[in-house]
Structure 1
């Protein structure tokens, strides 16, 4: 039976002349289609993950792709029983994913895009190195078998880690991957800039690989930035690789520590989760700012004054008067 909701993951590197004006226009479109989620807009493009009723998401994809700037957007679509988000955020930022590599334009030069079946065929060759472009809390719960991981908490730390790997990667074909493909666009371009010659990237990331190649040899779950926290992608040879942060039992249930000052992203089993009330340690359990635990370990970010309905009433009034 088909589920009534869709979850969309997408990005597009394309020039946007007036990000603020486009932000308001796009924001109102999402409100009119009852979409929830997070969208980032900048001069270099669009990056988003949203959820909504299937027909609303279908309409959204149709409208976005009808804009020549976004005709090449590759939407990754999951089915869901409900919204994957509780709120809508549409914001402008300097980059659509924070890398600090402002001089790199993936439309000019980037690694060779591999479709999932091509990535699957290449990944086990002796002259290939698979490199994970994600943060440590993401790959801790799931990653490709034999992948090289980087000790980073944020993608902006990626460039400084490459120097230490130059000897290890010398003469190898480098296959980069991330959740949906966006980080690899600049990461693979940066690797080429640093003198690496054979650089590739998994087109559509882990999510597309799971859908089109069965997720073979992706061990564990894929961390996602919505209420689901982590999802299964491997239907061929699944394997749990993470352990409970508290007791050490095999566990792939990801939570955010209930102490907002800590907010550590780690696997915690259900038993320890309830015993520590969603905290990652006794100290965090006793923290005066600890959030109430509902069994999921997922907490909505503070809006910090952001009003998702700003301008909506004005738009409705204007529409009626016309």
Structure 2
């Protein structure tokens, strides 16, 4: 029986004193017994949290009660155990790192691609005048992607703006963007529009919502998620595997981080190669003096730094309040 819930969500909405908000929000999450990872920026929230159904409901109610986040769309998964070990809530310049922080360039609260509900996306994706565009990183789309999707050779979403020119051949097509939960598409679709693409759409709620509402038809492989589960099943209609082991080439969607912390590459590795290579991607990494002990998971917990609430509040009181973006 699955006793816990995992929530995936984001919301673009300006937050005054966002760094202080992050510290207070961390304490609130801990008071509910939640674990997870939340990014707070001036531009909004991006989070995945996990806990009991009651704690998750209390959290969702509190977020929705704040007028800034009233429209937040939570994707809810039932899980057998919490999807994280600890609770992190950190302030960062963006809720998804794109390098596009200037609202004069793009502002997801004002203009993005047209949102398509999962069934609308499924109905449109195979048309001749449509291109389905995966805006995620290599390690994500290598383990799972929509059939016939265009993928980009990027290690991180911040590289997406540099790939716009490569997509120029599709300017006369309808562009259907997708990502895990929808957050990257908000900025990706906005940038495509800014770059002269006329007909841009995005999958509302991302792959996760698509799987829940359509059965995941034509999503090949597994969906990468940013918690202890690493990947989740999406397609219950016509499932297939697309990922292969980095070392031996056998079909495998099992993802790990290299045991060499100075490499830390995120890659697919079958269980047999995992034990043979001691969780490393190469012989060189196997011989590295700082190699971490391999326990069969390839998952390594970061040690969190304590939050100094008083230091943050003192700094905010000495710094003039940020102006809200123009309406």
Which bin holds the TM-score, normalised by the shorter protein?
A: over 0.9
Q: Deviations over 1:228-271 (max 9, x none)?
A: 11111110000000111111111111111111111111111111
* Matching residue of 2:267: 266
2:163 pairs, out of 151, 161, 169, with 161
Residue segments in structure 2 that go unaligned for 5+ positions in a row: 311-327
CA shift for structure 1 position 311: 5.8
Q: Hey, which bits of structure 1, 4+ residues long, moved more than 3 A?
A: none
Distance in 2, matches of 1:79 and 1:301, equals: 25
Q: Deviations over 1:30-58 (max 9, x none)?
A: 01001111111111101111111111111
1:36 aligns with 2:38: no
* Matching residue of 1:17: 16
SS of equivalent to 2:248: coil
* Matching residue of 1:283: 284
The residue correspondences of 1:113-192 to structure 2 (distance < 5 A) are 113-167=115-169, 169-192=170-193
* Partners of 1:229 and 1:298 within 8 A in 2: no
Scaled by the length of structure 2, what TM-score is found?
A: 0.91
Structure 1 stretch displaced more, 9-18 or 275-284: 275-284
* Matching residue of 2:202: 201
Distance in 1, matches of 2:261 and 2:211, equals: 32
Distance in 2, matches of 1:170 and 1:80, equals: 41
Distance in 1, matches of 2:194 and 2:112, equals: 9
| Count of aligned residue pairs for this structure pair | 307
Distance in 1, matches of 2:267 and 2:309, equals: 38
CA shift for structure 1 position 76: 0.7
* Partners of 1:123 and 1:130 within 8 A in 2: yes
* Matching residue of 2:218: 217
**Once superposed, what is the RMSD of the aligned Cα atoms?**
1.3
Distance in 1, matches of 2:225 and 2:300, equals: 14
Distance in 1, matches of 2:242 and 2:194, equals: 34
* Matching residue of 2:109: 107
1:48 aligns with 2:47: yes
* Matching residue of 2:321: none
Q: Deviations over 1:191-244 (max 9, x none)?
A: 000010100000000011011111111100011111111111110000000111
Q: Deviations over 1:280-322 (max 9, x none)?
A: 122211211111111111112343xx226x669xxxxxxxxxx
